[in-house]
Amino acid sequence: MVFFRKFFLKIIISTIIIAFLIISPYPLFSKINKLNYSLNKVYNFNFSGVIELWNVDTFEGGSVSRAAFLEKRAIEFEKKNKGVFISVNNLTLNQLKLNLEKGKKPHIITFGIGVEDIFINDIISLNSAFNVRDDLIKSSIVNEKIKAIPIMMGGYSLISNKELTFGEFDKEILDELVYATTDFINPLMSLFVNNINAKKLTVESLSSFDAYDKFINNKYKILLGTQRDYYRCKNRENNLKMQCDYNVLSGFSDLIVYASIFKSENKIENISQLFLEYLLSSSVQTKLSNINMFPVIQANIYTDSFYKNFNEKLLKDIKTLNVFYSIETLNNIKELLIKNIINNENNEKEILKYLM
């Protein structure tokens, strides 16, 4: 009798334990479900599909293709977000215009100054500037709304050929200086912001590479170049092909790469924003040193003194131009700068109104 009591008691206890194990997870599981729903609602972690990113280069980069850099970051992001695939396509400005005319649109676009406002009505307004510095975010605001976010930047430097300048460099008057005139960028603005005159400057119709080519072939003593020229000239020095002095210019840059998100389904917009947030994380911004570009967050990512100095100059308050300015406006700015820097015309107020 005692045996049967113990037997039935064990059965009752076992039944209670099993019932508890079956029933008890429901409240916890319910909470987890609610948490997952909340996260998915905001970030769409469960999104599965292809995000199309178009990269449009409007100025030269650093040492490596910016599209290649974005492709690597896309792969990293895909590993963190299973089911998400980011297709990075490199387009010229003309290809971008043709695609838009045909009604083709990406989910994300990365671009620089010179695209004008051709897709301004097709992109969303961003609610966050993420970690981007305040002085840079101003250049992508339209009607008090953030329409694009900076993701990397470059800058300008005066590079002199020591063989021609004999190691002497006077930044007050630059007699023999060459710079890019046909690109969308405005190199002379970096001289204007730094109060540098170039009264004897000869203005030639040159692209960035043409200006660099004339400089290394001793046609000019000084090159007003970008981070790309900085990299190229340093490489030539390392290969004992020339000797240069470098004067990095602070205070201005229009060599900024931006990202915008095209209007789409909420889940696509949300996962696109998550990718932008990833691009602006400290870990990714640090990797810009791999392509000799510079961060748009408050950080110096270089240990090498040559690039660390450049990065340091770009950390100070930077003035820039609105990335959506029309080509007509950009050309007007160029004309005003020539009148000011070369012709010594007193038109500072006209120029300053374009600076952000």
Q: Residue 240: give its domain's CATH number.
A: 3.40.190
Q: Are 208 and 181 in contact (CB under 8 A)?
A: no
Q: Is residue 161 part of a domain?
A: yes
CATH number of the domain enclosing 288:
3.40.190.10
**Smallest Cα–Cα separation from 208: which of 152, 272, 254, 162?**
254
**Average pLDDT taken over every residue of the chain:** 87
173: confidence class by pLDDT, cuts 50, 70, 90: low
Q: What pLDDT is stored for residue 163 in this prediction?
A: 86
Query: Does 105 or 5 have the greater pLDDT score?
Result: 105
Q: Which domain holds residue 297?
A: 49-153+255-312
pLDDT value at 28 more than 80? no
For residue range 182-229, list pLDDT tens digits in order: 889 999 999 999 998 877 777 888 999 999 999 999 999 999 999 999
44 pLDDT band, cuts 50/70/90, is very low
pTM: 0.86
Residue 118: its H or E element: none
On whether both 268 and 243 belong to a single domain, the answer is: no
Tokens at 66, concatenated: 């910016």
Based on the fold, state whether residues 302 and 231 are members of the same structural domain: no
DSSP 8-state code for residue 67: H
Q: Does residue 348 share a domain with residue 246?
A: yes
Which whole number is the average pLDDT over 90-108? 98
Same structural domain, 55 and 140 = yes
Helix axes 227-238, 305-315, angle to 10 degrees: 160
HSE value, Cβ hemisphere, 13 Å, CA-based, for 319: 17
82 neighbors 45 (Cβ within 8 angstroms): no
Mean pLDDT computed over 339-343: 90
Over range 4-19, report the average pLDDT: 46
Q: Are residues 144 and 195 in the same domain?
A: no
pLDDT of residue 26 exceeding 50, the answer is no
Number of CB atoms found within 10 A of residue 165's CB: 15
Residue 211, H or E segment: helix 208-216
pLDDT of residue 167: 62
Give the pLDDT score at 76: 98
pLDDT over 60 (residue 255): yes
Total count of domains within the chain: 2
